Chain A
Amino acid sequence: MDASIVLNHVSLAFDDKVVLKDVSFELLPGHTKVILGGSGSGKSTILKLILGLLKPDGGTITVNGKRVDTMSEQEMMAVRSDIGMVFQEGALFDSLSVEENVGYKLYEESSVPEAEAYRRVQEVLGFIGLEEYTERMPSELSGGQRRRVAIARAMAAKPGILLYDEATTGLDPITAMTVDEEMIKLRDLEGVTSIIVTHQLRDAFFVATHEAVRQNSHVEFTPADALKADEAEFIMLKDGVVCFEGNATELRVSKEPYIRQFLS
């Protein structure tokens, strides 16, 4: 199986500050990569590099078999059509309603007929349980609702890859759990490949160790079996360098002092 995303010896520095140094990993289709690390360790930068919002100083980045680190902004548009990103704090468009935000890509950047786009918007809003918020403006939503709308916006055009940048940071545990469940549903029921950047350990482990199963008309979240749990891999970044790569079990038993400190 060809990897959806490959980072090969990627490095990046802003002036004298090294942000990423020799970062390499592969992500297979339908799998999840959880990137952990302290603030300023370069986690969000990796997502921006994959999306082509930043260019690396060295190394190569491949998305769906295409090398993106050398692509122009125009060429990147085609690659981005298969990627959705949930930004920190949501980054919803203030001047657009929930419906317009969620359907932005379908209404503005695709040839999908308006009626069909509207149907898809209603479908994804239903998926995240916010179908009655269509007409609201982002300023009228709570923090958790904004994140869920951001997820709906990212998934509306049915991308094969979803990137989550601190999607649960700053949320209360119950709302964070709802967002976690959306991520699991997308991965297990829609087959979405995902990268989750977070420093919320509880959320990271929950997503990595649970799976969504459709039971008649509703979805249940159960502990994942060993094979399924192996599809979620952790990466720990320390000062821009990968200091751990492995599954949830390996992370828990790691003896690395930084990881022990991070997990404690």
Chain B
Amino acid sequence: MFDLLERWLKNGIFEVQEYVRLQAATIRGATSPPFYYRDIIIQLDAIGVGSLTVVLLTGFFTGAVLALQSGITLDQFGARPFVGRLVSASMLKELGPVLTGLMLAGRIGSGIAAELGSMVVTDQINALRALGTDPVRKLVVPRVVAGFVMAPILTIIADTVGILGGWMVAVFQLRVAPSVYWTSVIDGLYPNDAWMGIIKPFCLGYVIASIGCHVGLRTHGGTQGVGRATTSAVVAASVAVVAVDLVVTQLLITLLY
């Protein structure tokens, strides 16, 4: 039992150490040449444009259901016209970033881990090194940069369609006047909330992509290993999204409010 715990702890510490080393190499690769611009553009497209559908759907339905649920609760206080304020504040500060993060963890975290994992088990990573390419610069940096840049953009899109989803429910089901809804939405938006809603996705995008790369590059054990890596990447990235959200939220509340 003690041996098992010791091995588990050692493995955990080793994973953290390797993750930190990869982050150091990634930062070095992102700030010094050579840069693989074409790969960065490909990843911006794959991660950004490729995730658009899932983010649009998630954002829309979340905003709609939020209006629906909060409408019932607000009715108890005769505060139905404030539904817009609740939807906008919730989407902007918390649900937009976190749900977009979770969607990205599922979509790009798994995709990156599977792609890099397959490259590891088929010797393509070694082939890259043999051809004089640093795999971190060629594979990790473009994905992490794309995750870092695209997560905030996708979050803004999710926030927007979420508020639109809330508007549809508020107007057509809760019978709130559109002007009342939009006034309430604007009343609920404060500059500090906007800052929080925009800073968090940068952190989440970075964490999701870097965890996908770390898990993918440490794949071993053939195709079975690729399957394991994909699952691990999704689990680790999803947990990290929620955990990082808590830490960053606490930090931003201290700094901004």
Contacts and interface: CB of A to CB of B under 8 A. Distances in A.
Interface in A67-110: 73, 77, 80-81, 83-85, 87-89, 91-94, 104-105, 108-109
A263 interface: no
A92 B130 CA distance: 12
Nearest to A51: B130
| SS of A interface (majority) | mixed
A102 to B, nearest CB: 11
A83 B130 contact: yes
A87 B123 CA distance: 7
A53 interface: yes
Interface in B84-142: 118-119, 122-124, 126-134, 138
Contact of A109 (B118, B119, B126, B132): B132
* Most chain B CB atoms below 10 A, which of A81, A83, A88, A91: A91
Contacts of B130: 51, 53, 80, 83-85, 87
A210 B132 CA distance: 32
B131 A53 contact: no
A84 B129 CA distance: 11
A21 interface: no
A48 interface: yes
Q: Give the interface size bracket for A toward B.
A: 20 to 34
B134 A73 contact: yes
A260 to B, nearest CB: 33
Contact of B131 (A89, A94, A109): A109
B127 A87 contact: yes
A109 B128 CA distance: 11
Nearest to A77: B132
B126 A104 contact: no
Nearest to B134: A73
Nearest to A107: B38
Interface string B178-196: 0000000000000000000
Given A80-B132, A104-B131, 5 more contacts: A53-B129, A93-B128, A94-B124, A105-B132, A108-B36
19 contacts: A48-B126, A51-B129, A73-B129, A81-B132, A83-B130, A84-B130, A85-B127, A87-B123, A87-B130, A88-B123, A89-B123, A91-B124, A93-B124, A93-B127, A94-B119, A108-B131, A108-B138, A109-B131, A109-B132
